[in-house]
Chains A and B, each alone.
Chain A
Amino acid sequence: MSDIAIRVENLTKRYRIGRAQGSQSGVRTLLQRAASPFRYLATTLRPPSEDETLWALNGVSFEVERGKVLGVIGRNGAGKSTLLKLLARITEPTSGRATIYGRVGALLEVGTGFHPELTGRENIFLSGAILGMKRTEIERKFDEIVAFSGVERFIDTPIKYYSSGMRVRLGFSVAAHLEPEVLLIDEVLAVGDAEFQKKCLGKMSEVATEGRTVLFVSHNMAAVQSLCSRGIYLQRGKVLVDGSINEAVATYLKMIEDRTQEDLSLRTDRGGQGGMRLVGVDITDESEMAAMTLITGQPAKFVFHINQIPPGMVLEYVDFTIYDLQGRPVAYFNSGDVGEKDFRDSNLGTHVVCAVDELLLIPGRYRINVGIAGNGDLQDHVEGAAFFNVEEGQIRGRPVVARSQRLGSVMLPHRWILPETR
């Protein structure tokens, strides 16, 4: 028996796009389709032309040894979810092949198959069976599952009365007790409260040390680095890095940074309806030069340039999140949460400014994700819209210097009261 658990050879998945957009919209297409059902049928049946195809995965090959934990990282749309779906047999590849040695368990969602009208107990059996557990197996582990989830008291209550947190906990507990030889996990850890997340991470590293093979897809660099030994970095459906997890994470972070060097308006990897687009971000200190370098404890200004606010469009809010380099969110700002000192400026045009009086971030490198909402919809969302450096400075007279061992990203203004030195 070889000690390879997953072997992926030249795996390719082609999606057809373009057509899907038409299918959602309006009365007109409906009428057109009703008028010429056969033409519609013909476009459906002919092979897709090149501009209609999306290569979600393009010749991906890698191997995972038995007992290893592989982290798969990449930006949105890089093919991570497609890879998982193919390995979990949810959909079929266009070409290539993958071989998995051992029983496969896929955990792509928490609480798969839950029925709101059924009780927690009934749903454990249902979800367990859907995830591939045998009835006897579920019965054996039932108490353990319930105990781990912490919803003992409500186990005979229909889960529609559960809070979303309880539902997530129950769902994860069922999934965590799967005992396959090969486990495929999507970003299910991004759910639940902090305490439960910690519990999940603990359970996951337990799984990892039990000698099972795990393929773990995530955006959370900290989680990936703590759980995985090996990593692959996917970009546009191809494997760019296949090596140690640190190598893969480093590439990921560098890539995100490189992307921000590009002109924002040219980027296509964005979400939202597109009624308004973010075309530029300036991050400046007091000097107001677009330096992208800030100083701890000093004022900072984030300026967002929107391409246009079309007539009839109501700009509801601009929001952004500051992330540290590990991908951990540090702070969130939303112009919709109106404060007393906010004001409007008729000279601003299509700019939106967020002024920070005192930057409480410790020295390091950060990135921001930006969202623009209007007319009840998210109009634009750009990940890694900008990067900036924070340099050493002072927070209320206290020097904040770069220290490799420093934990956290924020320094709160504070003072110490110490015993007198004799």
Chain B
Amino acid sequence: MTASNVSQTPSLPETLATTVIEPTRGWASLGLRDIWEYRELLMLLVWREIKGAYRQTALGVSWLFLRPILNVLVLTLVFGMLVKVPSNDLPYALFSLSALLPWGYFSNAVLRSAGSLVQNMEIISKVYFPRMIIAVAGVLSGLVDLAASFIVFVVFMLIYRVPLRIEMLWLPGFILAAVLMALTVGLWLATLSVRYRDVSFAVNFLLQALMYLSPVIYPISSVPEKLVFFYQLNPMAGIIDGFRWALLGPTAGSPPGTTFWISMGIMGVLLVVGAFIFRRTERTIVDVL
């Protein structure tokens, strides 16, 4: 199953847990049960990531809120007021923040999980646990940033008097999609980073490129008609558009259409393949790191 073929049964009084260590041949199973067994460690790793990050900062946890606010401020100044990017007649601050919710989360989560294996090499080389939880922890810890950004958004909603909408019930779905997308990209990059440290350089560039290819600073309606289909194959495009639609209504974005579901399908395939490749690399990660 994992770095070895393991069948661990909870130790009952008579039958002892038995660990068999031997080389795994071919493709191992995903070992999701193993991950479940280690859920306590997963939560602790998430907590360590969050708690460790803001220690010894003067502003502490306020950074969680400051970051989205500053981001929106800059975007609004540059693209809303100077460049005058269309925002479908919505206040640009609201328009950009609604996109920064999923995008900010996504880029953060990808950064964390892509570097997770290399950064946690010290633990990985000394203790066994399903390595995938370290990538998952990176993705999950980003949710705290998302929650903080959401609070900021609620404040913006009050300021701009945005009404509550029934479509907002879609949000958990879009958030889940963003989490899975971050996990997909994160797993692939983490796997690659083990062998090729180039990933740590590439990831920043990749995220920047992907941001310009997603409707973060401009509306999807600015994309030429002929290209919209291909444009929307990027799952983040659909997710961001969905966020806008759910939060601000049909003027801002559009409900998930066929292309959205196609992009989700592609993502699903990539996620499963990525997870299997991750599992395959996992076994001998320590030898390469």
Contacts and interface: CB of A to CB of B under 8 A. Distances in A.
A93 B55 CA distance: 40
A89 B3 contact: yes
Interface stretch (A128-136, A193-201, A321-329, A341-349): A128-136
A275 interface: no
B51 A118 contact: yes
Nearest to B21: A98
Interface in B4-22: 4, 6, 11, 14-22
User: Which applies to chain B's interface (DSSP): helix, strand, loop or mixed?
Assistant: loop
Interface string A89-113: 1111111111111111010110011
B83 interface: no
B127 A102 contact: no
Interface stretch (B40-48, B105-113, B254-262): B40-48
A223 B55 CA distance: 41
Interface in A336-355: none
Contacts of B18: 99-102
Given A97-B21, A112-B126, A132-B129, 18 more contacts: A1-B16, A91-B3, A92-B21, A93-B21, A94-B23, A98-B22, A99-B18, A99-B21, A100-B18, A101-B17, A102-B17, A115-B48, A117-B56, A118-B51, A125-B44, A130-B41, A132-B127, A135-B40
B51 A104 contact: no
A291 to B, nearest CB: 46
Contact of A104 (B3, B19, B55, B283): B19
Given A44-B195, A118-B52, A88 B20 contact: no
Interface string B182-193: 000000000000
Interface in A1-43: 1, 11, 15-16
Contacts of B41: 129-130
Nearest to A105: B127
A135 B41 CA distance: 9
B123 interface: yes
B225 interface: no
B128 A115 contact: no
B286 interface: yes
B48 A88 contact: no
Given A89-B4, A91-B284, A106 B51 contact: no
A86 interface: yes
Nearest to B128: A89
B287 interface: yes
Contacts of A112: 122-123, 126-127
Interface string B113-142: 000000000111111110000000000000
B208 interface: no
Given A87-B21, A89-B21, A158-B55, A130 B129 contact: yes
Nearest to A40: B196
B232 interface: no
A88 B123 CA distance: 13
B51 A113 contact: no
A165 to B, nearest CB: 20
A181 interface: yes
A270 interface: no
Nearest to B15: A1
Contacts of A207: none
A85 B286 contact: yes
B2 interface: yes
B251 interface: no
Interface in A54-109: 85-104, 106, 108-109
A126 interface: yes
9 smallest beta-carbon distances between A and B, as pairs: A117-B55, A97-B22, A89-B128, A92-B283, A98-B21, A100-B19, A91-B286, A109-B126, A117-B52
Nearest to B19: A100
B29 interface: no
Contacts of B22: 93, 96-98
B23 A95 contact: yes
A122 interface: yes
Nearest to A87: B21
B20 A99 contact: yes
B102 to A, nearest CB: 29
Contacts of A102: 11, 16-18
A90 B126 contact: yes
A96 B24 CA distance: 11
A104 B4 CA distance: 14
Nearest to B54: A117
Contacts of A108: 126-127
Contacts of B51: 117-118, 122
A89 B21 CA distance: 7
Contact of A89 (B6, B15, B48): B6
Interface in A151-191: 158, 181
B34 to A, nearest CB: 11
A89 B11 contact: no
A166 B287 CA distance: 31
Contacts of A93: 4, 21-23
B188 to A, nearest CB: 17
